[in-house]
């Protein structure tokens, strides 16, 4: 198994849709994300990756899966550096296991495999086969994280089936766009006002889905998204109702329907 260690530091970059990502991965749905990786010389499509959270507690491996792309360049993940025109190299990652709590704590990793450097400054360090095989075996042994292991050919086919990459100036379904939307509109649903944290407490903190008012798949061309104008935070129920028809129902129409039902006592 060819495996690489990718890193995440919440103190430097906030993973705005982490809870949604965990939900998708835990329910067998596809979730892939571009991840910066400076050490990209040996990373290939179909390789395995492990993602380790560093910088803040609890530290440890929180996810794993497969590399979906050859390394390519995109605007820097740091918004200030991106505005200055800086870029970063990275790869697309297909997550097959993901958690907000470490699957393997940093302490446990250091005790079990003390010769491997678990706190690198950048992503892309190669993990020895013996260690990677053992970690993967343990992930598969836990019912919470177990998943069907695709072959490298299946990963290749999945990668080829993705839409082609957009230009670096396009602001598409990026985490940065989602964060800008939420920073402006907040975490309450734009349709019904539902707030996950108010209802579920800590479990619901920072959880909300984001709806595209202009559907990327229907436009058929690259366009620059304004996250404040083109995106809205919505709860899962309202998101499904907005997509009940194609083209999607407008936020205003669904709000009007809610008011109608509420006023009728239905």
Count of CB atoms situated within 10 Å of the CB of 173 = 15
What is the distance of C-alpha 106 from the center of its chain? 22
pTM of the model: 0.70
Partners of 237 in beta bridges: none
- Domains along the sequence of the chain with CATH: 3-161 (3.10.590), 175-264 (no CATH)
DSSP structure class, residue 41: S
SS (HEC) of 119-139: CCCCCCEEECHHHHHHHHHHH
3-state secondary structure of 256: helix
Provide the percentage of residues in the chain whose pLDDT is more than 90: 41
Residue 225 CA: distances (Å) to CA of 135, 180, 208, 222, 230: 40, 11, 19, 9, 6
Give per-residue pLDDT as tens, 98-155: 999 999 999 999 999 999 999 998 888 999 999 999 999 999 888 888 887 777 777 7
- Tell me the C-alpha distance between 132 and 49, whole Å: 9
| pLDDT of amino acid 162 | 62
Partners of 34 in beta bridges: 92
- Tell me the C-alpha distance between 72 and 22, whole Å: 25
| Contact in structure between 239 and 254 (CB atoms under 8 Å) | no
| pLDDT of amino acid 102 | 95
Q: Which of 74-78, 79-83, 199-203 has the highest mean pLDDT?
A: 199-203
Residue 9: band (very low, low, confident or very high) from pLDDT cuts 50, 70, 90: very high
| pLDDT of amino acid 14 | 81
| pLDDT of amino acid 163 | 53
Residue 3: band (very low, low, confident or very high) from pLDDT cuts 50, 70, 90: very high
| pLDDT of amino acid 120 | 93
Give per-residue pLDDT as tens, 233-244: 999 899 989 987
Tell which wins on pLDDT, 62 or 85.
62
Count of CB atoms situated within 10 Å of the CB of 263 = 8
| pLDDT of amino acid 7 | 96
Measured at the CA of 255, the angle between CA 253 and CA 257, to 5 degrees, comes to 70
């Amino acid at each position: 198994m060819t495996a690489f260690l990718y890193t995440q530091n919440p103190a430097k970059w906030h993973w705005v849709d982490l809870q949604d990502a965990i939900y998708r991965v835990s329910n067998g749905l596809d979730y892939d994300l571009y991840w910066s990786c400076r050490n990209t010389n040996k990373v290939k499509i179909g390789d395995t990756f492990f993602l380790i959270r560093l910088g803040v507690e609890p530290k440890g491996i929180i996810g794993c899966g497969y590399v979906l792309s050859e390394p390519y360049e995109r605007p820097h993940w740091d918004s200030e550096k991106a505005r200055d025109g800086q870029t970063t190299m990275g790869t697309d990652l297909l997550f097959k296991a993901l958690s907000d709590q470490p699957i393997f704590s940093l302490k446990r990793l250091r005790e079990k495999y003390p010769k491997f450097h678990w706190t690198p400054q950048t992503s892309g360090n190669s993990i020895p086969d013996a260690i990677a095989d053992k970690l993967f075996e343990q992930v598969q042994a836990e019912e919470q994280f177990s998943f069907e292991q695709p072959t490298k050919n299946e990963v290749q086919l999945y990668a080829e089936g993705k839409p082609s990459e957009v230009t670096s100036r396009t602001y598409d379904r990026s985490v940065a766009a989602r964060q800008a939307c939420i920073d402006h509109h907040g975490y309450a649903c734009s349709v019904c006002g539902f707030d996950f944290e108010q209802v579920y407490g800590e479990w619901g903190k920072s959880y909300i889905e984001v709806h595209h008012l202009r559907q990327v798949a229907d436009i058929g061309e690259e366009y620059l998204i304004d996250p404040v104008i083109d995106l809205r935070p919505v709860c899962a129920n309202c998101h499904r109702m907005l997509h009940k028809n194609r083209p999607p129902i407008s936020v205003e129409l669904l709000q009007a329907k809610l008011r109608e039902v509420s006023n009728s006592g239905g």
